Amino acid sequence: MTEGLRERIRAGDREAFAELYEEHARSVYNHAFRLTGDWSVAEEVMGDTFLDAWRGRKQLEPGDATLKPWLLGVATNKARNANRGLGRRLAFLARRPAPAPVADFAEETAGRIDDARQLAAVREVYGRLRRGEQEVLALCVWSGLDYAQAAEAMGIPVGTVRSRLSRARARLRKLAEQRLAEEGKEPPRRRGEVQGEAAFAALPFQEFQEDPR
């Protein structure tokens, strides 16, 4: 963060707030989409997040720490309010076909197909997680917040973030493996493949990184 940016925002400096927007708008947008599963709702959540951030700028504590946890916390609350029917909106992800494998060298093709199957399974079962589990995965895994920053964003103790993230990873992995087994398409594990609870949770949601505009 640019030195003094927080103080400038607290003082109502619009140029400073524009810097904040440029730095974090994509992160807020992607986070909102992960929690809502709808591009247009994510757009609204992002707009409402920065509007509330501007209105509440005087409540910021002094310091030079990043404002990303604060913004994602606001976005999380906005997503909850905007998307009470979260399961319905996330259901469209399950209906979307898995990304087509990209043409590549023969030895890499099998790995890409396996990754696509895992990604499709994770995408389909993500909406079956509890709301708090979805939020902690979105914050810690895909938005890259550490435990303390996620705790700040969610308004919960750091210990709760740790335990909730561990449960969310384990449950997501279990549900995804069950889904793959149901389809009879569980890919063989390759030498050197990461094992454990984080294996599925670490998969990125590739479509979340697309710019729809």
56-60, 61-65, 81-85, 108-112: least confidently modelled range: 108-112
Say how far apart CA 174 and CA 164 lie, in whole Å: 15
- Helices 147-154 and 158-183 sit at what angle, rounded to 10 degrees? 100
**Average pLDDT, integer, range 146-172:** 91
pLDDT of residue 3: 54
pLDDT confidence of residue 93: 44
Average pLDDT of the segment spanning 178-202: 54
Euclidean distance between CA atoms 60 and 6, whole angstroms? 8
Which distant-in-sequence residues (6+ apart) come within 8 Å of 11 by Cβ?
none
| Cβ 49 vs Cβ 76: under 8 Å | no
Q: Where are the alpha helices (DSSP H) in the chain?
A: 5-10, 14-36, 39-55, 68-82, 86-95, 106-125, 131-137, 147-154, 158-183, 198-201
Report the candidate in 35, 60, 127 with the shortest Cα–Cα distance to residue 44.
Answer: 35
Residues 126-153 as b/e (b if ≥16 CB within 10 A, e otherwise) read bbebeeebbbbbbbbbbbebebebbbbb
Give the pair of three-digit tokens for residue 134.
């979805």
Question: What pLDDT, on a 0 to 100 scale, did the predictor assign at position 147?
Answer: 92
Q: What is the pLDDT of residue 114?
A: 55
What phi and psi values does residue 96 have, to the nearest 5 degrees? -75, 140
Split at pLDDT 50, 70, 90, the class of 174 is confident
Is the pLDDT at 12 greater than 70? The verdict is: yes
More confident of the two residues 110 and 133: 133
User: What pLDDT does residue 84 have?
Assistant: 59
Q: Looking at per-residue confidence, does 175 or 116 come out higher?
A: 175
Average pLDDT, the chain: 75
| Under 8 Å between Cβ of 64 and 3 | yes
- Residue 99 in tokens: 């990304």
Model confidence at 18, in pLDDT bands (50, 70, 90)? very high
Least confident of 8-22, 29-43, 99-113, 151-165: 99-113
Q: What is the pLDDT of residues 76-118, one digit of tens each?
A: 999 888 765 545 544 554 455 544 444 444 444 444 445 566 6
Express each pLDDT in 186-196 by its tens digit. 444 544 444 43
The predicted pLDDT at position 31 comes to 92
Q: Which segment of 50-54, 174-178, 192-196 scores lowest on mean pLDDT?
A: 192-196
Nearest of 51, 68, 52, 49 to residue 6 by alpha carbon: 68
